[in-house]
Amino acid sequence: MNGLSNEEEVTRQLDFISKIRAFTEGKKLKYLVVTFGCQMNERDSEKIAGSLSRMGYDKADSEEEADIIVYNTCTVRENADKRLYGRLGVCKAYKQKNKDMLIALCGCMMQEDNVVSKIRSSYPYVDLIFGTHNIYKFPELLYSRLSGGSQIIDIWEKTDDLVEDLPSLRKYPFKTGINIMYGCDNFCTYCIVPYVRGRERSRNAIEIIREAEKAAEDGVKEIMLLGQNVNSYGKGLEDPISFAQLLKEVSKVNGIRRVRFMTSHPKDLSDELIEVIAENEKIARHVHLPLQSGSDRILKDMNRHYTKARYIELADRIRSRIPDVSITTDIIVGFPGETVPDVDDTIDVIEKVRFDGAFTFEYSKRTGTPAASMEQLEKEFVQKNFDRVLETVQRISKEQAARFAGRTMEVLIEGVDEKDPLRYTGRLSQNNVVHFPVTGAGIGDMVQVKLDECMGFYYNGTVVCP
């Protein structure tokens, strides 16, 4: 930063927001923020949208009608990169029609030197590029672009500062994410996140709780605490507290009905956390616990710091202490050196743990990570293994989903069913989706719903008690 305190920096950025507001006055300008990637990016996008709205821009419904488009990018796998370049090509045509249209790029992809050089040379019509560390400077950078002429690029390699409390505009009025930490220090050998998001930094618990209280005052009912590895929350703080304690405190906030968290690294998940979830009904019965692989050899090469046996034992401990818990996971197939017996081990874990849901990814080589310099596997071989894993995951999670059929459970109403305006859609604490006929209750309310039938991955139900 520039030696300013958090408050001073926020005031400075709010000042740029006012200046831009004077510029947009009476022009009926519109913005669109397009988000790729994880919940961290979703939350960052809420902050960008919040600034744009304060600057006097209204939300556009499509890229074509926007006067400013912000692409908040992800680079965790290669196909994420490809999607951005595709979109930029299309935008060129829009920009030819609307000469004053602005294109801004931010997020994880922008932290990669080769990406920025490519954009500089092949996409000169992009107006503004910034990264993950200086997202709070968006008002200032946009103001410079509006007052100057050429493309602005501002990427920082790292930062020790956390600037919070700038405006944010929630995508959903009833639920939001709260960052509890930034960055990641785990350096799993396939993963680019530590390079693009920097070192792990935890926010003060008091600030997190204050943000939760403010959200509750605005009508938010569900909070998701966000971090790449929430179980290592608290390191380096003046008053260190464990993630379990933080979770407990957040769940005590008045008005908050449900607290979720993402993501838990299996190596650091404590018994204290399992206890806190078990004892507190407001904490979601859902643990996302990325497995990545079931093979000890591959886990070691991935630098994950647990074994197949420890993972299974941990999942068993969670399931036995928290009845009805849903355990979901991420799996990578095709990590360098993976053999058929390694894949058999992954499938064995899926069958033993019985995941309620799993994201299965084909390994994607990320430049600069240790795994990128290992010998890569043949695509067809990976594809075959991937299909086997996917088939197992789908079969088991379908069986798991059916286990609540016939029961009456608490649902948070999230909105009207897209396919039927007379029905609501909501979620169980376990994260399963439920559709049911509209009753007196409204969006953001909690209702007891009888889960009449399981439709594969969601339920049809009826409200029992509003």
Q: Under 8 Å CB-to-CB from 344, ≥6 apart: which residues?
A: none
133 contributes a contact to ligand F3S by CB under 6 A:
no
Residue 285's CB: how many other CB atoms inside 10 A? Answer: 20
Give the C-alpha distances (Å, rounded to integers) separating 249 from 24, 40, 224, 282.
42, 21, 14, 11
412 has which bridge partners? 427, 446
**187 is in the binding site of which of ligand F3S, ligand SAH, ligand SF4, none (Cβ under 5 to 8 A by kind)?**
ligand SF4
DSSP annotation string for 331-366 = EEE--TT--HHHHHHHHHHHHHHT-SEEEEEE----
Tell me the two tokens of residue 229.
Answer: 């590895």
Map the footprint of ligand SAH across residues 177-206, applying CB under 6 A. Answer: 190-191, 193
DSSP annotation string for 187-252 = --TT--HHHHH-S-EEPPHHHHHHHHHHHHHTT--EEEEE-TTGGGTTTT-SS---HHHHHHHHHT
C-alpha span between 104 and 84 (Å, rounded): 12
Among 133, 282, 308, 366, binds ligand SAH (CB under 6 A): 366
Question: Interacting stretch for ligand SAH, rule CB under 6 A, among 91-99, 211-219, 272-280, 356-364?
Answer: 356-364
Among 6, 53, 151, 186, binds ligand SF4 (CB under 6 A): 186
250 contributes a contact to ligand F3S by CB under 6 A:
no
Q: Quick check: 115 and 80 in contact, CB under 8 A?
A: no
DSSP annotation string for 262-275 = E---GGG--HHHHH
Among 69, 135, 193, 226, binds ligand SF4 (CB under 6 A): 193
370 contributes a contact to ligand SF4 by CB under 6 A:
no
Query: Which is nearer to ligand F3S, 37 or 444 (by Cβ)?
Result: 37
Question: Interacting stretch for ligand SAH, rule CB under 6 A, among 2-10, 48-56, 248-256, 359-367?
Answer: 359-367
- Count of positions on this chain that bind ligand F3S (CB under 6 A): 12
331 contributes a contact to ligand SF4 by CB under 6 A:
no
**111 is in the binding site of which of ligand SF4, ligand F3S, ligand SAH, none (Cβ under 5 to 8 A by kind)?**
none
The alpha carbon of 333 is separated from its chain's Cα centroid by a whole number of angstroms, namely 21
Map the footprint of ligand F3S across residues 63-122, applying CB under 6 A. Answer: 74-76, 107-108
Q: Interface residues with ligand SAH (CB under 6 A)?
A: 76-77, 190-191, 193, 228-229, 263, 265, 290, 292, 330, 332, 361, 363-364, 366
Q: Interface residues with ligand SF4 (CB under 6 A)?
A: 184, 186-188, 191, 193-194, 228-229, 265
